[in-house]
């Protein structure tokens, strides 16, 4: 079904790339933005997640790290995007030591995720000292929410 409009003729369910809209079956314009295609996290390597925003924070204990993650979950963040890492410890299937080592090690993965050299060094030292990293890989909005949650629990996270 073609719909004439001041934007030109638009066909039902066709994306008008110039104006970022679609038309429903009744010919009404949809006002929602076109969301870009996302990758399937489970099928991609860690180095292919670079188009996302990464937030990392250091916690002195597993209990404190899990408490922060629980708060993130309560705020609606996807647990599949959140990992807890420490030396000989992992609490995530999306970012585990096997994948990290296959990508060249934690420092390489953090740098590929956009974490600065200084921050990567700090995170590597923290892991070597037996501390826990909470890593969230998500959208800009998720990263903003994570940073707000971490600030509320007295932390300042590194975002990329």
Tracing tokens 């002195």 back to the chain, one arrives at 60
Q: What is the pLDDT of residues 128-140, one digit of tens each?
A: 999 999 988 888 8
15 plus 73 within the same structural domain: no
For strand 10-11 and strand 2-3, is the pairing parallel, antiparallel, or unpaired? Answer: antiparallel
The H or E element containing residue 132 is: strand 132-138
What per-residue confidence (pLDDT) applies to 17?
Answer: 46
- Asked which of 17-21, 72-76, 85-89, 144-148 is least confident by mean pLDDT, the reply is 17-21
8 plus 73 within the same structural domain: no
79 plus 107 within the same structural domain: yes
- In angstroms, rounded to a whole number, what is the distance separating the alpha carbons of residues 81 and 137? 5
**What is the number of domains present in the chain?**
2
∠ CA 119-122-123 to the nearest 5 degrees? Answer: 90
Burial level of 67, CB count in 10 A (0-12/13-18/19+)? middle
pTM (two decimals): 0.65
Largest CA distance in the chain: 66
Confidence of residue 12 (pLDDT cuts 50, 70, 90): very low
58 plus 123 within the same structural domain: yes
Q: What is the mean pLDDT of the chain?
A: 75
CATH number of the structural domain spanning residue 53: 3.30.70
- In angstroms, rounded to a whole number, what is the distance separating the alpha carbons of residues 136 and 20? 30
Asked if residue 138 lies in contact with residue 86, where contact means CB atoms within 8 angstroms, the answer is no
% of the chain with per-residue pLDDT over 90: 21
Burial level of 92, CB count in 10 A (0-12/13-18/19+)? middle
Q: What is the pLDDT of residues 146-160, one digit of tens each?
A: 888 888 877 765 555
What per-residue confidence (pLDDT) applies to 138?
Answer: 83
Confidence of residue 88 (pLDDT cuts 50, 70, 90): confident
What per-residue confidence (pLDDT) applies to 23?
Answer: 54
What per-residue confidence (pLDDT) applies to 146?
Answer: 86
């Amino acid at each position: 079904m073609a719909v004439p409009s001041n934007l030109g003729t638009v066909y039902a369910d066709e994306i008008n790339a110039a104006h970022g809209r679609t038309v429903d079956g009744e010919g009404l314009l949809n006002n929602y933005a076109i969301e870009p295609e996302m990758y399937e996290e489970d099928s991609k390597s860690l180095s292919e997640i670079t188009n996302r925003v990464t937030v990392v924070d250091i916690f002195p204990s597993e209990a404190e790290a899990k408490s922060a993650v629980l708060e993130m979950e309560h705020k609606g963040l996807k647990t599949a995007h959140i990992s807890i890492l420490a030396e000989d410890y992992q609490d995530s299937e999306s970012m585990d030591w096997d994948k990290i080592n296959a990508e060249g090690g934690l420092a390489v993965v953090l740098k590929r995720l956009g974490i600065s050299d200084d921050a990567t060094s700090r995170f590597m030292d923290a892991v070597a000292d037996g501390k826990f990293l909470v890593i969230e890989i998500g959208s800009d909005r998720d990263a903003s929410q994570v940073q707000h949650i971490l600030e509320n629990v007295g932390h300042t996270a590194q975002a990329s």
